[in-house]
Amino acid sequence: MSFLWTVGMTCILLPMNYAASVFGTSAGSFFLGLDYTVLTITSVVFAAPFVDYSGPKTSLGLSCLALICYLACFVVADMVENEALKYVIMSIGMSLDGAFGSIGWVAQGMYYSRVAYLYHQKQVGLPLLQPVSDH
C-alpha cells in the first residue's frame, strides 16, 4: 500500500514540478494554489454529500478517472503552442485534481472505516451486521 501511495503522489506532484520548470515558479505556485483552493472548497461544501449520494466505491472510481484526466491535461498542454491555452488546459487539470482529490479522500475514509468495522466484527466472532455494498 505504501508503494502505491508513493506512485500516486508521484503522479500528482510530477506534473506540478514540470509546470514550474516550464512556466517558471510563479506559474507553478499559481497552479498549486488553484489546486488547493479547489480542494478546500470542495472538501468543505461538496465532497461528503457527493460520496453519500454515489457511495465510496463509485466515488473512488470517479476520483481515479479524474486523476487520469488531470494527467492528460498536462500532456495536452505540453503539445499546445499557445501560452494562454496552456494555462487554461492546466487550470482545468488542476481543478479536476483538487475537486476529485477531496472526493477521493472522503470516499477512502468511508470505505476503509467500513472495511475495518467488518474486519473487527469478524475477528470477535460477531455476525456481520452491515453488508459491504456501495451505499
Rounded average pLDDT over 6-13: 69
Share of the chain above pLDDT 90, in %: 21
In this predicted structure, the answer to whether residue 15 has a pLDDT above a threshold of 60 is: yes
Q: What is the pLDDT of residues 49-75, one digit of tens each?
A: 999 999 888 998 898 888 888 888 888
Question: 25-45 vs 47-54: helix axis angle to the nearest 10?
Answer: 60
What's the pLDDT at 118? 81
The most confident of the ranges 28-37, 87-96, 106-115 is: 87-96
In this predicted structure, the answer to whether residue 42 has a pLDDT above a threshold of 70 is: yes
Rounded average pLDDT over 38-57: 91
CB atoms within 10 A of CB 49: 10
Q: Which whole-number Å values give the CA distances from 9 to 6, 38, 39, 60, 97, in the listed order?
A: 5, 18, 15, 16, 12
- Contacts of residue 63, defined as CB under 8 A and 6 or more positions apart, other chains included, come to 100, 101, 103, 104, 107
In this predicted structure, the answer to whether residue 1 has a pLDDT above a threshold of 50 is: no
Q: Which whole-number Å values give the CA distances from 4 to 11, 69, 77, 125, in the listed order?
A: 11, 19, 26, 32
